[in-house]
Structure 1
Amino acid sequence: MEMTVDIRNKFRNTAKMTALSYENWQIAKARGLVDLFVHTDRVGHSLPGTETKFVNMSSYSYLGLNRHAAIVQGSIDALLDEAITGLAIAPTRMRPSLARSAEQGLSDLFDATCVIGLSCSVMTSALLPLVSSGHLVDGLPRVTVFDRHAHFCMEMVKPICADEAPVLVAPHNDINFLEDICKREQRVAYVADGAYSLGGTTILRDLRYLQDKYGLFLWFDDSHSLSVLGASGEGFVRSQLDEVNPLTVISASLNKGFGCSGGVAMLHKGFDTSFLNTTNGGPLTWSQSLTTASLGSIVAGVSIHKSGELLELQQNLQSNIRTFDEAYPTALAGGELPIRMVTTGDAQVAMDISQRLLERGFYCAPVYFPITPRGREGLRVMIRADHRSEDIIAFADALSQEVSTSAV
C-alpha cells in the first residue's frame, strides 16, 4: 500500500494566520481604522460624506514625493506623449522606450544593473526562487535562510523557494545561527530586510563578513530606506557597499520614499537582463507591466534624485524626525529611519488610541499580528519630509495624552 506523506503547512498556513489575525482586522474595519476610502487635496485627507479631516501619520512616502508636482507632471506628460496607457503585450515581446529610460536612469543613479517591475512583490516572486535555484549566479542550488522578520512579500515565496532548495528560518539578526549554517552547508543564501518596516536595520557589517568568508549570497529588501538614505537616495544597504557584487541583490519598492509606483531590483553591473526577459522572469514577463504613467513618474523621480532637491528633502525629513523624537521619545529615537513604534502590547488598546487620534485629526495606523509579533502590538508612526512641524508637535501631544489615558 502506497504511503502518502502530508507536507502541507511547512512554509504557509492560511488557516492558522486567519485564526490569529482576522478578528483584529474585522474590528479595526468596524471602527473605521482600515479599509478607508479617502479624498486627498493639497493640504491633507478627508473621509467623503463626513466632516472628518486628518493628517496621515502612517504614510510611507517619506520624502512627500507622491505629491511632488514634477512627478505628477511626469505621469501626465508620458500619457500625453505616448497617447497610450500601455502596450498591452507581454514585455518579453515588446517594451515601451520609457521602460528603458527608467531602468537606465535608475541604473545610473544607483550604480548597478536595475530591473523594474509592477511592484516590489512582483520583483521578489520573480527573482527570489532564482536565488534558491542558484540561477542568478551559476545554476547550483543554495540553502535559503529567511530572517524571521523578513517582509511578507518574501515570506510568501518560501514554498516556491523550497521546491528549489532547502529553506530554513533564522532568528532575527542572529549572525551565529547563520554562520553555523555556512559552516555546515557549502552554498547558502540569506534573505532579509535592509531597513525593517517596524524599525531597525539588518546587521550588514556582520553579513558582509560572512559573504567574504563563506560566499554567502545576500538578498535585501530595502524598501523603507530607499530615497531616505544615501547621497543618491540609494538606501541603507547600497550606501554602505562599494558595489553590488554578483552575490548581492537589493530589492525595493518605488511606492515609498521614491514617490512613484513599481519595484526595482539592483543587481551587479555584469548581470545579463535578457536571462530574465526571455527565460526565467516569471511575473516580470507576463502581460501586466508598469503603465505609461508609472514609467513617466519614475523618469521624473530619477531627475529629482539627481538634483540638489534630494538633499533638501532628506534634511527636511531628518529635521521632522528630530522634532517628533524630542516631543515623543521612543525606543527608536535618534535613528535616521522615519519609523517609530508605540508599543501597547494589546491590539484593542492600539485601536482605541488610533480611533481617538483620528477624531482629533490624525491617522496613525494600529498594527498587530501578523504585522507585529503577538504581544508587541501598537501604533506605527511614519514621519514625512512634508509634514509641518506644528502638525508633528500637535500629533505628539495628542499621542501622549491618549497613551496616558490608556495607561500603556
Structure 2
Amino acid sequence: MSERRSITPTHRYRNNDKLIGIGNTFWNMSEEHGVAGIVGDLTDGVFHMADGHEFVNFTVCSYLDLDTHPKVIDGAVAALRRFGVLDHCIPRTRVQTPVLLELEESLGELFGATVISAISTAAASTGLLPLIASGHLGNGTRPLMVFDKNAHVSMANAKPSCADETEVVTCRHHDLDHLEDLCRTYERVCYVVDGSDSLGGYAPVNELAELQERYNLLVFYDDSHSLSAYGERGIGYVRSHSPVLDERTITVATLSKGFGAGGTAILLDGYPKQTRRLIERFAGPLGYSQKMNAAAVGAALASAEIHRTDELIQLQERLRSNIALFDSLLATEQSGSTYPIRLVPMTDETVVGAAQRVFAAGFYVSPVFFPIVSRGTAGLRAMLRAGQTEEQIRRLCSVLIEAGARPATALPEPVAR
C-alpha cells in the first residue's frame, strides 16, 4: 500500500496555525481570569451577573447608546407587526416584501448615496470584493487588490476569493508611497482599508483622494466605527472628508454600532441602476436568503429618523465631551482625536491581569492582543459613549492608572517648606 500524502499549506493569504497557536493562548487566559466569555443581564446601562457582580461595559460599539433608545426598540417591535413576518426566507432577487426597499430609500436620502442593505459587513465585503477583483464592480479592468495590513478580518478574509480573479498583495498600514508605486505600475489598483478602524484611527482619506484623482485608484472603505458618531446626520468620517464620492469610492458600514440597529449599508455613488441587480444576484451572501429581518429594519428606520433631528447633534456633543474628559485624565496615542476608541498600552504579560483588576472594580475594558494587534503591542481597549456619566469615566480612569496606565499629566512635585 502506497504511503498517504500529507498537505503542506501555502499560507499565502492566512495562517491559522499562527493565528490560533498564539492568539488562543491569550483568549484562554482571558477566559480563565474572567475577562472573556462574560454573561450578564443589562439594566439601565449596568450589567448584572448571576454571582451578584455588577459592571459598566466600556467596550461596546454603540457610541450614541441608540441600541437601547426606546424609539429604536419600539421601531423593531412595530415593524414586526406592520410587515407581519420576521424574515421571508427567500432571495430578494426572486420575491421580497417592501421592507428592505423602504429602508434603503430612507438611508439613501439620509446619507446622500445609493444604498444596498446586507445582513453584516462581513457578508457585504465577502460579496463585493471578488466582484471588484474581476472588474465587474468598477470600470471593467481587473485591478491589483491591495489590502492594508490592518484591514479588518471581515475584509481580509476575502483575499483567497479575490486571488482567483486577480493579483492580491498586502501593504504596510497606510503606506501611501508604496501604494503610489503600485498605481504607477498597474493599470488599475483597488486599496482595501478601514475608514475608521477598531483600534482608534482614521484612514488618510484626503491623501487617498489625491491618488484617486491622479491614478484612478479605487478605494474600498469599511467605515463602520464612525457611522452616526461622526459627521452631519451621522454620515461618517469617509463621506465627511473624501472629495471623491463617485464610482471610485465604495463604502460599507454596519448599522449595528453607532447606528444602534442591525445589518449593514453599502454606500455607492455614480453607479448605474443595473449595478444593484448585479450585486444582488452575484455578490455571494447578498444573493442568498440571508438578509436583514423586519425587526432589524424597523430599528434602523427608527434610528434613521433620530439621525434627522437635533437629538443626534446632542448625542454627538455628549460623546465628544466624554472623549475629551477621558483624554484629560489618561494618556493614549489616540488622545486629542475625535475617535471614540482609546487603546491603553499594556504588555503581553500584564494586559490580562490589568483587565481583571479593572473588572473587579466594576468596569469592563477588553484586553486586546495578537492577532487583534501586533505582537508586543497589547492593551486595554476602552470605548467612549454618549451615555456614560462623568463619574463613571473618572472612576474608570482612576482604576486604569492604578493598573499601570499613564495619567494625562503628572502631578507637580510638592513644594519644599
TM interval, shorter chain, is over 0.9
**Partner AA of 1:325 in structure 2:** D
Aligned ranges 1:317-356 → 2 under 5 Å: 317-346=319-348, 348-356=349-357
Is contact 2:125-2:154 (8 Å) kept?
yes
Please tell me whether the aligned partners of residues 332 and 345 of structure 2 are also in contact (alpha carbons under 8 angstroms): no
Q: Equivalents in 1 of 2:143, 2:9: separation in Å?
A: 21
Give the distance between the partners of 1:73 and 1:20, measured in 2 at CA. 44
Runs of 4+ deviating beyond 2 Å: 4-8, 241-244, 269-272
Aligned to 1:316: 318
Matches within 5 A, 1:8-407: 8-47=10-49, 49-242=50-243, 244-272=245-273, 273-278=276-281, 280-346=282-348, 348-403=349-404
State the one-letter code of the partner of 1:188.
Answer: V
Deviations 1:185-223 (A, max 9, x none): 111110001111111111111111111011100011111
Note if contact 1:243-1:268 (Cα within 8 Å) is conserved in structure 2.
Answer: no
Instruction: Tell me the TM-score normalised to structure 1 length.
Output: 0.95
Distance, in Å, in 2 between the alignment partners of 1:296 and 1:17 is: 38
Once the two structures are overlaid, the 10-residue window that deviates more, 356-365 or 12-21, is 12-21
* C-alpha distance in 1 between matches for 2:290 and 2:115: 19
Q: Separation in 1 of the partners of 2:121 and 2:40?
A: 24
Distance (whole Å) between structure 2 residues aligned to residue 271 and residue 108 of structure 1: 17
- Matched position secondary structure for 1:353: helix
Give SS of 1:145's match: strand
> 1:404–1:263: structure 2 CA closer, same or farther, 3 Å change rule?
closer
Q: Which moved more, 1:38-47 or 1:366-375?
A: 38-47
Q: How far, CA to CA, are the matches of 1:109 and 1:37 in structure 2?
A: 36
Shift of 1:133: 1.1
Confirm or deny: 8 A CA contact 2:209 2:242 kept in the other structure: no
**Aligned sequence identity (%):** 35
Measured after TM superposition, the shift of residue 33 of structure 1 is 1.1
Matches of 1:323 and 1:122, distance apart in 2: 36
Measured in 2, the distance between the counterparts of 1:267 and 1:404 equals 42
TM-score, scaled relative to structure 2 = 0.93
Other structure's SS at 2:193 match: strand
Alpha-carbon deviation of 1:243? 5.8
Q: Distance in 2 between matches of 1:271 and 1:391?
A: 49
Deviations 1:222-242 (Å, cap 9, x if unpaired)? 111111111011111111135
SS in 2 for 1:89: coil
User: Secondary structure of 2:178's partner?
Assistant: helix
Moved more, 262-271 or 108-117: 262-271
**2-structure distance, mates of 1:178, 1:202:** 14
Contact kept? 1:55, 1:361, Cα under 8 Å: yes
**How large is the RMSD of aligned CA atoms in angstroms?**
1.6
Q: Secondary structure at the match of 2:197?
A: coil
In the alignment, structure 1 segments of 5+ residues that lack a partner are none
What per-residue deviation string (whole Å, max 9, x for no partner) do you get for residues 19-75 of structure 1? 11111111111111112222111231112x211110011111001111111101100
